[in-house]
Amino acid sequence: MKVEDCETDFPKLPALQKIETYPITGDKNIQMADNSFSDGVPPDSLEAAKNASNTEKLADQVMQNPQVLAALQERLDSVSHTPSSYIETLPKAVKRRINALKQLQVKCAHIEAKFYEEVHDLERKYAALYQPLFDKRREFITGDAEPTDAESEWHSENEEEDKLAEYDEPILKHLQDIKVKFSDPGQPMSFVLEFHFESNDYFTNSVLTKTYKMKSEPDKADPFSFEGPEIVDCDGCTIDWKKGKNVTVKTIKKKQKHKGRGTVRTITKQVPNDSFFNFFSPLKASGDGESLDEDSEFTLASDFEIGHFFRERIVPRAVLYFTGEAIEDDDNFEEGEEGEEEELEGDEEGEDEDDAEINPKKEPSQPSECKQQ
């Protein structure tokens, strides 16, 4: 039912009929059909007041009709409220100003991109200042040097140790240091995570690397979405595993039945295995214009997040992660609104389902050395 249809359900209002007999022409006074007065009060004024009262009562009855209200709501819902439709209604001069403001916004985005390039140079500068401290930290870790009494003085309220319970642990015990190296001046923006290992029974590499490529420029198609440098791709390295020591694959036994004879045989095959060392065989970002599927997008985004976390948090604050204090800081965020908490809980459920997708399961080839791709 439409609003127009409602108009035929009710007779034409007397007040409106009366008003139609009083035409208005230009600036002339209203020409009354009856100019007679009684006691100084125009009779038509009394009748108009009466009709106005009747009109209000009739309007109340109309607004109480569910069908009429539904028709009005439908008409309101059909009106577009998108920003673009709103802008189209603005005067031409205002539209010109908006377009000019957008041009300024694009210029701001390019200036911001330059800002982050200089920030990268600043990070490189301070990385050199951090390095002597990191070198000394490595000496303490390996036992090549012992801290003085003053250097080793620290009071901790919690000295409980968290133990790692997985088959990667024996290998990670040989990890001596993790370094971050930034790209050289004039080179494309990137950083490399270097994992330094002492001689061990698992692989021959002394250093495993992961390179993260970055860009700091607004997207031409959507410049207003620019929020700073972003990781766009990453390269791992090949781990030269010693025989029988590759923890990124596992050997399973599988029974096969012959279709014709019905005989059964048992075969062994290698399948991907969950391991930290899958970190060095990352999924590649699509460079041919084709989009990745949803699971691959999630895996790649997780990899980028892990690389950023190593660079920004773990390497600079390694001792706090060793003691567990940094993890406690991450857990001490204040709770938000109830609605936000429910939304986060929903996200966590989704993350639990996708945990297995974080590390790509892929057996690397075995060249003689770990190369940066």
Q: What's the rounded mean pLDDT across residues 201-209?
A: 96
Number of other CB atoms surrounding residue 370 within 10 Å:
19
Gap between the Cα atoms of 166 and 359, Å rounded: 15
Q: What's the rounded mean pLDDT across residues 3-14?
A: 46
pLDDT surpasses 80 at 66? no
Q: How many CA atoms are closer than 13 Å to the CA of 62, on its beta-carbon side? A: 17
Residue at 190 is within a domain? yes
Residue at 116 is within a domain? yes
The burial of 108, by beta-carbon neighbours within 10 Å (0-12 exposed, 13-18 middle, 19 or more buried), is given as middle
Q: What's the rounded mean pLDDT across residues 183-196?
A: 92
Closest CA to 134 of 82, 174, 192, 176: 176
pLDDT surpasses 90 at 36? no
Residue 98 · residue 87 · CB < 8 Å: yes
The burial of 226, by beta-carbon neighbours within 10 Å (0-12 exposed, 13-18 middle, 19 or more buried), is given as buried
pLDDT of residue 242: 95
Domain of 195, CATH number, reads 3.30.1120.90
Residue at 360 is within a domain? no
Domain that holds residue 194: 81-146+167-240+275-285+293-323
Virtual torsion, Cα 161, 163, 168, 170, nearest 10 deg:
70
pLDDT of residue 182: 92
Structural domains of the chain, count: 1
Gap between the Cα atoms of 331 and 327, Å rounded: 6
Residue at 24 is within a domain? no
Please state the pTM of the whole predicted model: 0.51
The model's pLDDT over 291-342, given as tens digits with 9 standing for 90+, comes to: 778 888 888 889 989 999 999 889 888 888 877 778 766 666 555 544 444 4
pLDDT of residue 3: 44
The model's pLDDT over 230-256, given as tens digits with 9 standing for 90+, comes to: 888 899 999 999 999 999 998 888 888
Gap between the Cα atoms of 174 and 199, Å rounded: 7
